[in-house]
Amino acid sequence: MSQSSHPSSVWYRPMLARHAGEDHRTASALELFFDLCFVAAVAQTSSAFEHEIGTGRALHGLLGYALVFFAIWWAWMNFTWFASAYDTDDVPYRVLTLVQITGALVMAAGAAQALEHGDFTVITWGYVIMRLAMVTQWLRAAYTDRQRRGSALRYALGILVLQIGWLVRLLLPHDTGLVSFAVLAVGELAVPVWAERAVGTTWHPQHIAERYGLFTLIVLGESVMAAGLAVRTALDTHQETGSVMAIALGGVLTVFALWWLYFAQDAPRRLRAQSTAMLWGYGHYAVFASAAAVGAALAVNVAHATGHTALTGVQAAAMYTVPVALFITCVWFLHRRAAQGSGKAGVVSPVAALAVLATTFVPCTVLCTGAIASLMMGAHLFTARRGRQEH
- Residue 221: predicted pLDDT: 86
Mean pLDDT of the chain: 87
User: What value, to the nearest 5°, has the Cα angle with vertex 247 and ends 244 and 251?
Assistant: 140
Mean pLDDT computed over 50-77: 90
Tell me the backbone φ, ψ of residue 175, rounded to 5 degrees: -75, -5
Range name among 193-197, 206-210, 229-233 with the lowest pLDDT average: 229-233
* Residue 341 φ/ψ region, left for φ over 0, alpha for ψ in the -120 to 50 degree band, beta for the rest: left
| One-letter-per-residue 3-state SS of 256-301 | HHHHHHHHCCCHHHHCCCHHHHHHHHHHHHHHHHHHHHHHHHHHHH
Q: pLDDT for 67-88, tens place per residue? A: 999 999 999 999 999 999 999 9
pLDDT surpasses 70 at 387: no
Greater confidence, 86 or 223?
Answer: 86
- Residue 1: predicted pLDDT: 39
Q: How far apart are CA 71 and CA 122, in angstroms?
A: 12
- Residue 237: predicted pLDDT: 65
Contact partners, residue 78, CB within 8 Å, separation at least 6: 131, 134, 159, 192
Name the architecture of domain 205-390: Up-down Bundle (1.20)
Q: What residue spans define the domains of the chain?
A: 27-196, 205-390
This prediction's pTM? 0.89
Q: How far apart are CA 87 and CA 309, in angstroms?
A: 47
pLDDT surpasses 50 at 336: yes
Q: pLDDT for 116-175, tens place per residue? A: 888 999 999 999 999 999 999 999 999 999 999 999 999 999 999 999 999 999 999 988
Q: How confident is the model at residue 239 (pLDDT cuts 50, 70, 90)?
A: low
Mean pLDDT computed over 193-221: 90
Greater confidence, 245 or 189?
Answer: 189
- Residue 2: predicted pLDDT: 44
Q: How confident is the model at residue 268 (pLDDT cuts 50, 70, 90)?
A: confident
Q: How far apart are CA 82 and CA 97, in angstroms?
A: 11
